[in-house]
């Protein structure tokens, strides 16, 4: 059943996996790993990497993945900005950045042409990590963007004009929908990262997401690539989780990170304390998994940017 579900939504995307940019990326990863610096910092990318974290299904770990990858990267010498594009503002909460009331937010950037530099805040006690917060006002942006000029490219324009901080990574946390907010994120990025929950229902929305990616690539952003898939909420006690993981790997090959993110109570608890799990409980299984995943992403940079 898992094989049939996945085949029906992604077979056209992976008919020739050996020729995809992501496969080339993973193939080059071991060589990059061999040249790691000795001071504990990971190599900085040659140019700023913009990674959109998207999946139209809710509850698959988009925000958790965005926040913890960003924290892990910043802990190893990278300068990282998280753009919270979800009106719920969960990424802002997890990074302990104020996003209530009249706080300047992403809504004002997209709809009001406010410079991105005016809303970006440094995350407390996390040097090198920054957040562009979202407030509930962003919920109305889907409607208000419809009538604006270049509505799909407003985030890209704002990012291009941002020069207040020299950044290595920008991670864009998308809402669980395929509306104009997510389209803005796909147009603004080169890399797409998809978290996939290791459960059957998590596969059902994947086909529509990939079709939208095809449309964006064809009409708005020809440089867009599916660079990374992260398997999340893995429960090794269940046969289904193993089946989903195996089938996703068989279809997407080396696009899928070697690291699997397990189900973890600590990962779920951390946002209530305004922290990522990387600082809340760095020795937990979830924190160590996200650290390994961030390391994989960092050492893939050379091949992606080649």
Concatenated DSSP letters of 165-179: S--SEEEEE--SS-S
CATH class of 25-33+40-304: alpha beta
| φ and ψ of 257, to 5 deg | -60, 145
Q: Vertex 84, ends 82 and 87: CA angle to 5°?
A: 170
- Please choose, from the candidates 82, 81, 80, 78, the residue with its C-alpha nearest in 3D space to the C-alpha of residue 44: 78
Quick one: tokens of 141? Answer: 């942006």
Number of continuous H segments (helices) and E segments (strands) in the chain? 14, 8
Question: What are the structural domain ranges in the chain?
Answer: 25-33+40-304
- Please write the tens of the pLDDT for every residue from 32-83: 333 334 347 899 999 999 999 999 888 888 999 999 999 999 999 999 999 9
**Contact (CB, 8 A) for 46 and 301:** yes
Q: For 170-200, how does the pLDDT look when each residue is reduced to its tens digit (9 = 90+)?
A: 999 999 888 899 999 999 999 999 999 888 7
Give me the mean pLDDT over the 162-177 stretch.
Answer: 94
Please give the model's pTM, rounded to 2 decimal places. Answer: 0.86
Q: Which residue has the tokens 């490219």?
A: 153
Minimal CA–CA distance to 197: which of 152, 253, 235?
Answer: 235
With a pLDDT cut of 90, the percent of the chain lying above it is: 59
Q: What number of other Cβ atoms are within 10 A of residue 234's Cβ? A: 21
Report pLDDT digits (tens) over 237-279: 888 888 888 888 988 999 999 999 999 899 999 998 989 999 9
């Amino acid at each position: 059943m898992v094989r049939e579900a996945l085949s029906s939504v992604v077979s056209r995307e992976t008919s020739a996996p050996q020729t995809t940019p992501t496969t080339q990326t993973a193939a080059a990863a071991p060589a990059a790993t061999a040249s790691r610096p000795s001071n504990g910092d990971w190599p900085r990318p040659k140019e700023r990497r913009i990674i959109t974290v998207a999946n139209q299904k809710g509850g698959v770990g988009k925000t958790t993945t965005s926040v913890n990858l960003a924290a892990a990267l910043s802990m190893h010498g990278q300068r990282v900005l998280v753009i919270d594009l979800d009106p719920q503002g969960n990424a802002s909460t997890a990074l302990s950045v104020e996003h209530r009331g009249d706080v300047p937010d992403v809504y004002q950037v997209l709809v009001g042409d406010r410079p991105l530099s005016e809303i970006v805040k440094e995350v407390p006690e996390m040097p090198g990590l920054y957040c562009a917060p979202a407030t509930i006002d962003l919920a109305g942006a889907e409607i208000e963007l419809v009538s604006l000029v270049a509505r799909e490219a407003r985030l890209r324009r704002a990012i291009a004009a941002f020069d207040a901080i020299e950044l290595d990574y920008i991670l864009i946390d998308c809402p669980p929908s395929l509306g104009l907010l997510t389209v803005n994120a796909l147009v603004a990025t080169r890399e797409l990262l998809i978290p996939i929950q290791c459960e059957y229902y998590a596969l059902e929305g994947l086909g529509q997401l990939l079709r939208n990616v095809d449309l964006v690539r064809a009409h708005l952003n020809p440089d867009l690539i599916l660079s990374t898939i992260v398997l999340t909420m893995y429960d090794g006690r269940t046969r289904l989780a193993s089946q989903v993981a195996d089938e996703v790997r068989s279809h997407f090959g080396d696009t899928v990170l070697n690291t699997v993110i397990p189900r973890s109570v600590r990962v779920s608890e951390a946002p209530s304390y305004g922290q990522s799990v990387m600082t809340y409980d760095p020795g937990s299984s979830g924190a160590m998994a996200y650290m390994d995943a961030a390391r994989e992403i960092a050492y893939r940079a050379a091949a992606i940017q080649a």
